[in-house]
Amino acid sequence: MNWIGKVMRRLRRHHCICAQGVVLHDTARIANNLTDRSAIHVGAYSHIRGELLTFGHGGRITLGEYCYVGEQSHIWSAANITIGNRVLISHNVSIFDSLTHPLNPEMRHQQFRAIIASGQPRAIDLAEEPVTIEDDAWIGCMSVILKGVTIGRGAVIGAGSVVTGDVPLYTIAAGNPARIIRELTPDER
């Protein structure tokens, strides 16, 4: 491991609270625009290869213990994203608790100008709704989880799914928009 990588990992840890045994891999990006370390909390023994981002006007990300966030995955919070224990988030997954940009084109342009001039705006309405992913869920690669969604304990989201509504515990959901495929069998739980 080179010294630049070690320094970068130490710097990323200043932007979040990491419990014992957390690994922020070289591809991890912590973008805490709130500058409040407590806005991003990573539970013990979790491995982060993707991006955790809070917006300038708000946002909280809480990951439980033994979670995995794959490469090129993005967890962007303007309200609150809560992820339970032992959650596997595959590569290229996107999780959002807001629209990320205003629907009105003039306001969207103002947001863009603010971001390139001075960073994330401190006051903006992005129609935020919290996201909850409960313990033992698995989010398949290239899936998108949208605002206001709760994914139940042990649920599996198929690769490439767009989740726009709640997914019950111990079910498999897939598609665009994601639909319940089936319940997990007792042996699969």
Residues known to be catalytic = 101
**Among 61, 120, 58, which Cα is nearest to 28's?**
61
Cβ 69 vs Cβ 63: under 8 Å = yes
Greatest extent of the chain over all pairs of C-alpha atoms, in Å = 54
In whole angstroms, what is the distance from residue 79 CA to residue 148 CA? 10
H-helix or E-strand spanning residue 11: helix 3-13
- Phi and psi torsions of 127, nearest 5°: 50, 55
